[in-house]
Chains A and B, each alone.
Chain A
C-alpha cells in the first residue's frame, strides 16, 4: 500500500558531513600514470570493493576491468543501480547497513548520502524508476518483521516520500520493469534483526517469495511462494531480460547434499519456471548463486557463486548452460560489451587483476 509522504524525512547529508561521519578522506586514489591511461569516459562498470588496508569504497571500472576512479565509503557496500536517464548511480550499504550513496560516476555532481529511517535498515539493493526521478530501496521493518520498499525523490535530494509493503520477509533484491509500472521484489524469506547482526533467525521455517507490485500504488499484483520442498530456497537476486522476462537467482539453505534449482524466470501473469541445470553445474555452484545479470543484446544470463567458485552463462532463450568457468571467489556479474563481465573477491575483474577485493555486485553504467 502507498503510504504517502511520511513525517520522517530521509536524511540527505552533504558531502562534508558524510566524510566527517565517515572519518576518511574522499579521494580519487589513482596514480598520475593511471589517470593518463584511463579517462572517466572509459568507465563502464561500478562495483564496491575492499582495499588492502581494510577500507571500503566504490570503483568505476573499464571494459577490461581496470579501475578508473574510486570513491571512499565508511562501510561495506552491496548492491548498486544506475539511471541512464540522469547519469546517477547508487550504492547501498550491506545489510543491516543504514546508508546509501548516490553519486555521479563522471564526477559532475556531488555525492548525496541518505540514511534509512528509524526502525528500518537497508537490505542492500534498490533501483531507479526509468526516468530516474524515483529511487526504490529494499528495506527491513525489523520490529515488524516485514520487508518494505522505501521510495526516495531524486528531484528533492532523495527525500524519502513513502514506502510500500514488500509482502514478504527478508526482502533482498528489487528491480523495476522497463515501463516503470511494476516493481519486482525478491523476498529471500529469511528473518534477520539488527540486534542479532547478520544471524539468520528462521532457517527452519523460511518463507521465500517473488512479488510484483504496482509501482504507482504499491498494490500487490502477483505473489509466488515456493512449494514445500523448496521452502529453504531463498529467492534473492533479480534482473530483467527481453520482453519483460524476470530472471531470479536463489541460495539454498537446506541440506548440503540436495540438488535444488538455483535460477528461473517468470513474467507478469505466469507461474515460476526453473532452469533445469545439469547436476554437475548445481554442484559447481555450491547450491548458491550470489549474483545474476542479463545481457539482453546477446540473450545471455550470467550467474556467479563465491561458494562454489564458479561463473555460469545461460542461453536466455533456451534456458541451457552455454559456458561454465571456475572463478575462485566469484563475485559480481554484469552485461559486458560481449558476454558477461565477472569479478572476484581476489581482485580479478574481466582481464585485469587489481589490489582490491571486489564485492558481490557490479552495475553497468554505460549502454
Chain B
C-alpha cells in the first residue's frame, strides 16, 4: 500500500503535466530471485541469529551479575567479568548492522555510548555511584536516564574501573546492583531487537522481499545497496571509530585511553568481533552469487584481507599504551588501518562497481 503524503494546509499546484520522457541510460537492475535469496540469507543467516545470540549472551551476563550481587566471591566476580567480555564480543559481531531498529529510539546508544571524547559516561556513572541513586538499580527506571549510564561503557567501569574490586565482597552492594541493572537494560534492548527482527511481517519481510509497496526497498538494487552499505559502513567504523579514535599514525597524537574497552582489555577482542561479523555477513549472504564469474574474485580478495586483519587484531597487545608506543605493535596498527582502507575500496569499487554502481557505492549517497 503506497501512502500519498500531503502537506496539510500547504497549497498545492494544479497538476497539468506534459512530461516528455527520454530514455538515455539504463538503471541498475539485478535478478530479483537472486537478490531475494541474498537478502533472505543475510537476514535469516546473519542478522536474526546475530541479535538472538546477543540477547542470549546479555541474559547470561545479567544472571552472572545477579549471582555476583547475591553471592560475592572472587570466582563470581571473574565469572561476571568473563560474561561481560562474551557479551561485548557478541555485540561486536552484530554491531556492524548500523541500520534499521538499532538506530531507532536510541537503542544503539543505550547499548553502547561511544565515542565519548569528553568522558561524559564516566562522569555520569561516578555521579550515580557517589549518590547511590536507587533509581538506577531497576532496569526500567535506568532506561529513562542518560544513555551514557545504561550500556556497556557504564558496566565496564563498574566491573573494571576504580573500586571494582569491592564487587568481590559485600552482598547486594549498590555498585553491584547498579551493574546488574545495566546488564538487564542491555538484555532488554537486545530482546527488543531480536523480537523486531523475528516478527514475520515486519522488517524481516521488508528486507527479504523488495518491491514497489515495500516500506524499506522498492527494488533489488536498493536492497543490495543497503546490504553493501552495512559492510562499507561497518569497515569504516572499525577504522574511524575503533582505531583512529586513539591512533591515526606514528607521527600523529595518540590517545590510548580513548580506545573502546581499554579498561577491560577488550579493545582487540571487540575489533576482532567486528571484523568477524563483516566476514560472516559477506559469506552467509552469498553476495558473491550476484556477480558475474569474472568479477567474483573480488569477494575472495576481501575475505582474505579480513582474515588477515582478524589474525593481526588477535596478536596486538591489550596494553594500549604499549600498542601505540612500541614500534612493532604500531606496525600492526598501521597494517589494520591500511587493510581497512583496502577493504572499503574493494567493497565500494570492486563489488559495488561489479553490480552496476558505476562509481563506487558510497558515491551514490548524494547528500
Which residues does A use to contact B, with CB under 8 Å? 50, 54, 78, 94-95, 124, 172, 195-201, 203-204, 226-227, 229-230, 233, 236, 251, 255-261, 264, 271-276, 278-279, 281, 283, 286, 288, 290-291, 305-307, 309, 318-329, 331, 344-346, 348, 357, 359-360
The verdict on A261 contacting B104 (CB below 8 Å), with A50-B359, A320-B15, A329-B364 known, is: no
Question: When chains A and B are docked, how far (Å) is the Cα of A144 from the Cα of B349?
Answer: 36
Stretch at the interface among B71-79, B170-178, B212-220, B332-340: B212-220
For B105, give its contact among A204, A227, A318 (CB under 8 Å): A204
Task: Give, as a whole number of angstroms, the nearest-CB distance from A104 to chain B.
Answer: 26
Residue numbers in A under 8 Å from B17 (CB-CB): 278, 281, 320-321
Q: Which 10 A-B pairs have the closest CB atoms?
A: A290-B366, A328-B25, A357-B359, A255-B215, A319-B13, A346-B358, A345-B359, A227-B8, A195-B115, A276-B12
Question: When chains A and B are docked, how far (Å) is the Cα of A236 from the Cα of B363?
Answer: 17
Q: Indicate if B4 sits at the interface (CB-CB under 8 A).
A: yes
In the bound complex, do residue B240 and residue A197 qualify as a contact, i.e. CB atoms below 8 Å apart? yes
Residue numbers in B under 8 Å from A203 (CB-CB): 103-104
The verdict on A278 contacting B15 (CB below 8 Å), with A203-B103, A309-B27 known, is: yes
Residue numbers in B under 8 Å from A322 (CB-CB): 18-20
In the bound complex, do residue A328 and residue B27 qualify as a contact, i.e. CB atoms below 8 Å apart? yes
Which residues does B use to contact A, with CB under 8 Å? 1-28, 98, 103-105, 115, 117, 212-218, 222, 233, 236-237, 240-241, 245, 345, 349, 358-360, 363-367
In the bound complex, do residue B363 and residue A273 qualify as a contact, i.e. CB atoms below 8 Å apart? no
Residue numbers in A under 8 Å from B241 (CB-CB): 195-197
Residue numbers in A under 8 Å from B215 (CB-CB): 255-258
Question: When chains A and B are docked, how far (Å) is the Cα of A111 from the Cα of B219?
Answer: 44
In the bound complex, do residue A78 and residue B359 qualify as a contact, i.e. CB atoms below 8 Å apart? no
For B7, give its contact among A172, A227, A257, A320 (CB under 8 Å): A227
Residue numbers in A under 8 Å from B245 (CB-CB): 195
In the bound complex, do residue B359 and residue A307 qualify as a contact, i.e. CB atoms below 8 Å apart? no
Taking each of B9, B10, B16, which has the highest tally of chain A beta carbons within 10 Å of its own beta carbon? B10
Question: When chains A and B are docked, how far (Å) is the Cα of A196 from the Cα of B236?
Answer: 10
- Output the nearest chain B residue to A312 by Cβ-Cβ distance: B19
Task: Give, as a whole number of angstroms, the nearest-CB distance from A148 to chain B.
Answer: 18
For B26, give its contact among A196, A255, A328, A359 (CB under 8 Å): A328
The verdict on A274 contacting B12 (CB below 8 Å), with A258-B3, A322-B19, A346-B359 known, is: yes
Question: When chains A and B are docked, how far (Å) is the Cα of A325 from the Cα of B21?
Answer: 5
Residue numbers in A under 8 Å from B349 (CB-CB): 54
Question: When chains A and B are docked, how far (Å) is the Cα of A325 from the Cα of B363?
Answer: 21
Question: When chains A and B are docked, how far (Å) is the Cα of A2 from the Cα of B13?
Answer: 37
Given contact pairs A271-B10, A307-B222, enumerate 16 new A-B contacts (beta carbons under 8 Å).
A197-B233, A203-B103, A227-B10, A229-B6, A230-B5, A256-B217, A257-B212, A278-B15, A309-B28, A321-B18, A323-B20, A326-B24, A329-B363, A348-B25, A357-B359, A357-B360
Residue numbers in B under 8 Å from A198 (CB-CB): 365
Question: When chains A and B are docked, how far (Å) is the Cα of A273 from the Cα of B349?
Answer: 40
In the bound complex, do residue B222 and residue A255 qualify as a contact, i.e. CB atoms below 8 Å apart? no
Task: Give, as a whole number of angstroms, the nearest-CB distance from B83 to chain A.
Answer: 28
Residue numbers in A under 8 Å from B6 (CB-CB): 229, 261
Residue numbers in B under 8 Å from A261 (CB-CB): 5-7, 12
A-B contact pairs, 19 of them (CB 8 A): A198-B365, A201-B103, A255-B3, A257-B1, A257-B212, A258-B215, A261-B7, A273-B11, A275-B13, A281-B17, A307-B222, A307-B366, A309-B25, A321-B17, A321-B18, A322-B19, A323-B21, A328-B28, A357-B358
Residue numbers in B under 8 Å from A290 (CB-CB): 366-367
Residue numbers in B under 8 Å from A271 (CB-CB): 9-11
- Output the nearest chain A residue to B225 by Cβ-Cβ distance: A307
In the bound complex, do residue B2 and residue A329 qualify as a contact, i.e. CB atoms below 8 Å apart? no
Question: When chains A and B are docked, how far (Å) is the Cα of A204 from the Cα of B237?
Answer: 22
Residue numbers in A under 8 Å from B13 (CB-CB): 273, 275-276, 318-320
Residue numbers in A under 8 Å from B11 (CB-CB): 271, 273-274
In the bound complex, do residue B104 and residue A95 qualify as a contact, i.e. CB atoms below 8 Å apart? no
For B363, give its contact among A50, A229, A259, A321 (CB under 8 Å): A50
Question: When chains A and B are docked, how far (Å) is the Cα of A276 from the Cα of B6?
Answer: 9
Taking each of A204, A230, A276, which has the highest tally of chain B beta carbons within 10 Å of its own beta carbon? A276
In the bound complex, do residue B358 and residue A78 qualify as a contact, i.e. CB atoms below 8 Å apart? no
- Output the nearest chain A residue to B21 by Cβ-Cβ distance: A324
In the bound complex, do residue B214 and residue A94 qualify as a contact, i.e. CB atoms below 8 Å apart? no
In the bound complex, do residue B218 and residue A257 qualify as a contact, i.e. CB atoms below 8 Å apart? yes
